[in-house]
């Protein structure tokens, strides 16, 4: 492959209110490597510095809680941005990323608990082990959660981050609000796609009030739940349209849900995956809404990533597991070695995550 064949993949671009050096994104990845006080550990700081070194144009942090009480028991050690005294540590994290030339974005992770209760849009069982039936949130509690997100985003901006991303995919509670399968509410937060997205648009509004209207808010959503009665790509198109009209700067398109038998967590047979499996959905959402789109899902080869950009399927291309296998993969591609990642999507890294252990590649000792 010639250097010119992937030129636009590595060309500077303005996206979601940010100028970036290329169209590659490190998608948010839970590393289970934070300090006990939920600030970035020295190992995390070094990891993000390595990722940024001649690497992707935009780096999402691991899923960072806006309130540490939202975590379920035994969920590992992830970062939290719920205390002002944590801001200096996050300032160092943002600085490490930006010093390497990348944009730094905090992913504000999902809530699972609220005031010690497992919660969701409706009191419907979650297909976890053991099964859990959450309590349906009241409207006043949703307002409080929105305010908590706003305060966390303000801390992120104070720490020097370029934007935040909301995690509303994979069957976590924000995702469940968007899904007709899991959201059976009959109030202003249920029913139509606009109502189901209301919690997200209220969170975006809260972030605008707290962190400033010029502070970009990105979001990760499902293109489909891939389960009976779940969110379809038709729903995703309408949901994306509502979000872009209500202050969301860009949309990362993922899919699947942990609240059903189909899940992206745990070991997997690599032969069942095809590369770029969400690209057709991303292309449709981008075409019908003109939303800035970050495509993620099984992207492994710079040729395919370039084609996705050139063919208008996505504005940016994102990877997670390949960066676990090889944190400096983009630097290698830039050097002229354009071999695809060695990541085979076995999800051995996700097994460790589910066990609450620090994440690493089980196949490459030189990776994370």
Q: How far apart are CA 79 and CA 68, in angstroms?
A: 9
213-255 confidence digits (pLDDT tens)? 999 999 999 999 998 899 999 999 999 999 999 999 999 999 9
Tell me which H or E stretch contains 114. strand 113-114
pLDDT value, residue 366: 72
pLDDT value, residue 111: 80
The more confident residue out of 270 and 87 is 87
pLDDT category of residue 272 using cuts at 50, 70 and 90: low
Residues 6+ apart with CB under 8 A from 192: none
Backbone angles phi, psi at 49, to 5 degrees: -65, -40
In total, the chain counts a number of residues equal to 368
Q: Position of tokens 């550990």?
A: 41
Q: Is the pTM of this model over 0.85?
A: yes
141-147-153-157 Cα dihedral, nearest 10 degrees: -170
DSSP-assigned letter for residue 84: G
The answer to whether 358 and 351 have CB atoms below 8 angstroms apart is no
Q: Is the dihedral of CA 329, 61, 291, 343 positive or negative?
A: positive
108-139 confidence digits (pLDDT tens)? 988 878 778 889 999 998 766 567 899 999 99
Q: How far apart are CA 331 and CA 193, in angstroms?
A: 41
Q: How far apart are CA 197 and CA 205, in angstroms?
A: 12
Can you list the domains of the chain with their CATH numbers?
3-354 (3.20.20.70)
Q: What is the CA radius of gyration of the chain?
A: 19
């Amino acid at each position: 492959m010639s250097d010119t064949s992937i030129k636009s993949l590595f060309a500077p671009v303005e996206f979601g209110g940010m100028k970036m050096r290329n169209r590659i994104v490190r998608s948010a990845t839970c590393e289970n490597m934070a300090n006990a006080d939920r600030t970035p550990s020295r190992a995390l700081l070094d990891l993000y510095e390595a990722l940024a070194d001649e690497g992707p144009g935009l780096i999402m942090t691991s899923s960072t809680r806006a309130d540490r009480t939202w975590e379920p028991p035994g969920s590992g050690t992830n970062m939290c941005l719920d205390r002002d005294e944590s801001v200096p540590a996050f300032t160092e994290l943002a600085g490490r990323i930006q010093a390497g030339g990348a944009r730094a974005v905090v992913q504000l992770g999902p809530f699972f608990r609220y005031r010690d209760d497992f919660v969701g849009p409706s009191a419907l069982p979650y297909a976890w082990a053991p099964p859990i039936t959450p309590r349906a949130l009241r409207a006043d509690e949703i307002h409080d959660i929105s305010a908590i997100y706003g305060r966390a985003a303000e801390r992120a901006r104070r720490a020097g981050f370029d934007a935040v991303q909301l995690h509303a995919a994979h069957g976590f509670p924000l995702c469940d609000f968007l899904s007709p399968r899991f959201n059976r509410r009959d109030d202003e937060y249920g029913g139509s796609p606009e109502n189901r997205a209301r919690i997200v648009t209220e969170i975006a509004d809260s972030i605008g009030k707290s962190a400033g209207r010029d502070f970009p808010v990105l979001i990760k959503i499902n293109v489909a739940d891939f389960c009976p009665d779940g969110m379809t790509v038709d729903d995703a198109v309408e949901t994306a349209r509502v979000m872009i009209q209500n202050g969301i700067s860009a949309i990362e398109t993922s899919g699947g849900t942990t609240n059903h038998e189909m899940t992206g967590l745990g070991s997997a047979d690599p032969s069942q995956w095809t590369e770029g499996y969400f690209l057709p959905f991303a292309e449709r959402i981008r075409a019908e809404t003109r939303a800035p789109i970050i495509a993620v899902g099984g992207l492994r080869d710079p040729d395919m990533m370039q084609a996705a950009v050139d063919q208008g399927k996505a504005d940016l291309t994102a990877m997670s597991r390949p960066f676990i296998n090889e944190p400096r993969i983009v630097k290698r591609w830039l050097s002229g070695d354009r071999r695809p990642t060695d990541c085979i999507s076995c999800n051995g890294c996700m097994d460790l995550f589910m066990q609450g252990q620090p994440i690493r590649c089980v196949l490459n000792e030189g990776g994370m």
